[in-house]
Structure 1
Amino acid sequence: MSSVFSLSPGRHLLWSPDHGSEIVASIIDLAERLEVRCGTVAAIGALTEATLGFYDQEAHEYRTIEIERPMEIAGLLGNISIRDGRPFLHAHATLADSKGDVMGGHLTRGMVFAAEVHLQELLGTPPVRVHDPNTDLFLWRSGD
């Protein structure tokens, strides 16, 4: 049976990363500074460029989609857990261009134009990401 985690709500943190910063690294840095080891993340705003990923299930590797134009963050959802002893962000984003056309996938990188992030801390024993040989991904397992 897969791992199930019972966690309790902690702090709700609202934050705007700096213009020109990289959003994934900035969220991880915030979690480290505030000692958030587990939580959920949501964000809206705009990016000047981004990299999305799509996991090729047969090849067991991410394919990247480079976006080199301004995009609105129509939605960003993710979570913070532990990988290699540090907070790790796993986030997916839906991005919209000036025509309203959307692209989505695993958010690897995004340069902030302006963004608003909500980080909901979860308290308890955080999930730990461990290599799964079936998928070749790092999936949640109990940290105990």
Structure 2
Amino acid sequence: MIYREDERILFIRMDDGENFVENLEKVLREAGVTSGVIISGVGMLRDLEIGWFNVEKMVYEKEQISVPHELVSISGNISLLEGNPFPHMHVSHAGPSRALSGGHLFSGIVCNTVELFILKAPLLELKRVASKGFKALE
């Protein structure tokens, strides 16, 4: 994994076999990013855990996907949760059939590579707080 940054943009490239979410959280801590927007991400992930929030039950319904999938798009934001940088991410992904699917990304292992760009927004001071059964952005 490598990362570089300037005043506004953080670039991260992860390599095959790395834990995507854990490495992202590590880089955010090291770079001191507490608020931001995920502006672009491409690559491949395998062993994904994707979720859909069931508003009637107020829980995520999760799905495990072991087959490598292209990361077609990723969007989300960075905020503080209990004092640590927290990436809230949604992805669109496609597997061997090229059928597109997506949802909330809980975890995934990098397959080949992932390239990610984040716009840092420290003045926003975004935070997550428990509210109405989920962790709302404040």
The question of a shared fold, defined as TM-score above 0.5 by the shorter chain, is answered with: yes
Q: Which runs of 4+ in 1 moved over 3 A?
A: none
Structure 2 CA distance for aligned equivalents of residues 130 and 120 of structure 1: 22
Secondary structure of the corresponding residue to residue 124 of structure 1? helix
How many residue pairs are counted as aligned between the two chains? Answer: 130
Give the corresponding residue for 1:30. 27
TM-score (ref. length: structure 1):
0.86
Conservation of the 8 A alpha-carbon contact between 1:49 and 1:71: no
1:8-29 alpha-carbon deviations (Å, 9 max, x no partner): xx42121201321111111111
Q: Which amino acid aligns with 2:123?
A: G
Name the % identity. Answer: 26
Structure 1 residue ranges without an equivalent (≥5): 1-9
- Alignment RMSD, CA only? 1.1
Is the counterpart of residue 15 in structure 1 residue 12 in structure 2?
yes
TM-score (ref. length: structure 2):
0.89
Q: Which amino acid aligns with 1:120?
A: L
Give the corresponding residue for 2:96. 98
Give the corresponding residue for 2:68. 70
Secondary structure of the corresponding residue to residue 20 of structure 1? coil
Structure 2 CA distance for aligned equivalents of residues 123 and 89 of structure 1: 14
